Structure 1
């Protein structure tokens, strides 16, 4: 999730509804300036007993962040819910390192030109955290959900926005706390050249997001046992908060663009307002009231541009629009799949021929079919039903072929002369074998591991 810093820069007050579409319009870039921003989360555990470390304990999350500064990272501090000042993130040339609510460690990478660069960035980060982990007795697990932890066994990080969200989540859904405390994901942020380009990319990626959910499905265990799903992380979103999640049917309607997304975001209830280094609880309140100076927690005050940008980060649909598009459908996983997720979407969306082919594949799907596919894929994976008949298994290979053609057309070579298509190989292997990662985990659990899930730490750590 986003990390706010107190800034000395001017922060204009929003005086017109026209300003609300400005961040999205400002994201428009010519093709030569399109970049790739890759994010991934991982679970941190103590190597001695596999417990999830707290922020304060010796060798815990605070110490982990402190030790990482030796690699040039600079601390970002925040006043926590108890009034103490805490380091809650790091910033550097490779982006930001930040904390999810229960101490999941996230790298939000810098915007980079090629997949070669973003995969190298991930590699540098993993070397750094493993170096520190070896020193302080910490390991890192690449999965979509904690396989063996209850909510009660997990710590809470001292970040103000999380304190607010943890109170609010149980009011609006049964699984919001699981989303916050027990899940990890891989995401990629991508650019667009115009409003029309954004619309085509949004529609295509939203329709095909279940393909990514299936190929990256990697969360079949809850509290030590199989949970009946392949991506339980994805299932959790079905009852987290219906006001800010889902497939966004309006994206496929005629006339969709920046203004329609603004209207959606104005209907998403607020979480907070950030003032002077602190988060003010505004959970459930209306940004429309804020625009009229009628927000009960800040009476008479009008929102600023930063307030709106904060609010844009509090919706969690399968694809999210800010000043770029975020692909949000994948479970956490190993380094190879951290590189594969951006490869999939860059191949599909960053070459016009590939984008047109991908849209042709899904443009005739109806909304009922899209919703059924989205709701089925967490349990069924590649066997989830397609709109109009067949299953995801029938098109997964074609989707990869389209992505591969898009990557080849980009012609971005590394020092060895290789293009970017090789990053799709982990996904090609999944399609060829017909088994998603979660199914392989279940095979190990019921076979070689003898239903001893503690073996997952040795098998699936970075």
Structure 2
């Protein structure tokens, strides 16, 4: 997220009111909903032996000038040919973050070109991208160590192994949508959450990990939900239907425990259970700044996170080009107010069933029924995305196949 120049990121936050005011300015940027973005994450594997660990140096050599500074502090961090930025997660997962585009067709075209460039570099190094949301072959293992990642691991370890599984073994697909005009924000915020469980179920790919079945349709989402509810539970639920999204997010962010406290040394691990509100009240030696608050927000991982736009974080990584299907479904569902309202209503009976979606996927009849209805709405709205004929036909067929799979789950 690019911050407005008038916001001084080094300003000391003197009290909770100042923190709330800053979050209110940055979390929901309103305006016509015209842009869509995507972030694609993959596990990375040796092409000959997918069970073999891939270390930091091999990734650095493969990515070259596109390496993030976490791999190579001297890297120029060049963007990919169509503007995608490459990052590497703590387990060696590679991610492309795209610039937002005014049309889904332009977004798909640019992103596919960047994926091709990335695949070409990895192929030359004997590496391939994974096809699921959880590493199906290897147990959790660190590939990249930074002060942030060490602090995350230390904090997550207090609650059990789920944090390491998330950090080192998961791969997700994030779709980024505009928050909308002021009078649209509440509806789009609610719908972004409500459609999450049925779409998570419909696009779950993470049923295997470390060489064995997990018992979950999405073990990736199971890991996220198990880390720490204070930073991974949904911000919105049906009980919050009438609550202001800004107030809900501000309360969530300030009540969440600190995950990292940045300093000059290698240890950024915070004291246990100190929240940002506690920090504002003097729990740490120095007062927090606006930059500290923004960094703290970057360590919160709910299924939908406001970053000026809405970042939908609940989808598993998809195989090959299949990432375009949930992107098109979400873009269609949020293309106009009526369809978004219909999607919110269709998902209503299952809006809070995140755990069931991760566990059972479309084997849960209620989730399958909601997914069928959402796919029908997406198909009806699909012409409004103005996709080229070939891409439209491909997407329409793919959504129909997903809808047929969901219909089987209803029986």
TM-score, normalised via structure 1 length: 0.78
How far does the alpha carbon of each residue in 1:388-434 deviate from its partner, in whole angstroms, 9 at most, with x for none? xxx22223222112122333234x344xx567574353232132145
**Distance change in 2, residues 1:143/1:90 (3 Å):** farther
1:402 equivalent to 2:377? Answer yes
The equivalent position to 2:246 in structure 1, one of 255, 258, 263, is 258
CA contact (8 A) 1:61 1:103 kept: yes
- Which of residues 405, 425, 428 in structure 1 aligns to 2:400? 428
Cα distance in 1, alignment partners of residues 268 and 392 from structure 2: 44
Give the Å deviation of 1:198: 2.1
Structure 2's unaligned 5+ residue stretches are none
Distance 1:102 1:343, change over 3 A: same
> Contact 2:347 / 2:370 at 8 angstroms: preserved in 1?
no
Structure 2 CA distance for partners of 1:381 and 1:413, relative to 1, 3 Å:
closer
Check whether the contact 2:235–2:252 (CA below 8 A) recurs between aligned residues.
no
Write out per-residue CA displacement over residues 372-397 of structure 1, whole angstroms, 9 at most, x where no aligned residue.
x3221223211325xxxxx2222322
CA positional deviation for 1:11? 2.4
Alignment of 1:74-89 (within 5 A): 76-77=68-69, 85=73, 87=75
Distance 1:273 1:197, change over 3 A: farther
RMSD: 3.0
1:241-390 aligned at under 5 Å gives the runs 241-249=228-236, 252-274=240-262, 280-282=268-270, 284-292=273-281, 294-296=282-284, 299-304=285-290, 306-363=291-348, 365=349, 370-371=351-352, 373-385=353-365
Report the CA distance shift for 1:257/1:433 in structure 2 as closer, same or farther (over 3 A): closer
Q: What do residues 55-107 of structure 1 show as CA deviations (whole Å, max 9, x unaligned)?
A: 02xxx1111221xx3xxx4x5425x9xxx946596545523110111100001
For 1:43-442, list aligned pairs within 5 A. Answer: 43-50=43-50, 51-56=52-57, 60-66=58-64, 69=65, 73=66, 76-77=68-69, 85=73, 87=75, 91=79, 93-151=82-140, 154-249=141-236, 252-274=240-262, 280-282=268-270, 284-292=273-281, 294-296=282-284, 299-304=285-290, 306-363=291-348, 365=349, 370-371=351-352, 373-385=353-365, 391-410=366-385, 412-414=386-388, 422-434=394-406
- 1:309 Cα offset (Å): 2.1
Does the aligned pair in 2 maintain the 1:103–1:155 contact within 8 Å?
Answer: yes
* Alpha-carbon distance in structure 2 between the residues aligned to 1:107 and 1:244: 24
- 110-119 or 267-276, which deviates more: 267-276
Give unpaired runs (5+ residues) of structure 1: 386-390, 437-462
Query: Distance between the aligned counterparts of 2:375 and 2:397, measured in 1?
Result: 10
Q: 8 Å contact 2:202–2:368 — kept in the other structure?
A: no
Contact 2:335 2:384 survives alignment (8 Å): no
Note closer, same or farther for the CA distance 1:278–1:120 as it changes in structure 2 (3 Å cut).
farther
Instruction: Provide the rounded CA distance (Å) in 2 between the counterparts of 1:178 and 1:88.
Output: 30
Determine the structure 2 residue equivalent to 1:21: 24
1:13-52 deviation digits (Å, cap 9, x = unpaired): 1452312211024x11223xx2111011111112233213
The change in CA–CA distance for 1:279 and 1:187 in structure 2 (over 3 A counts) is: farther
| Structure in which a larger fraction of residues adopt strand | 1
Contact 1:205 1:327 in 2 (8 A): yes
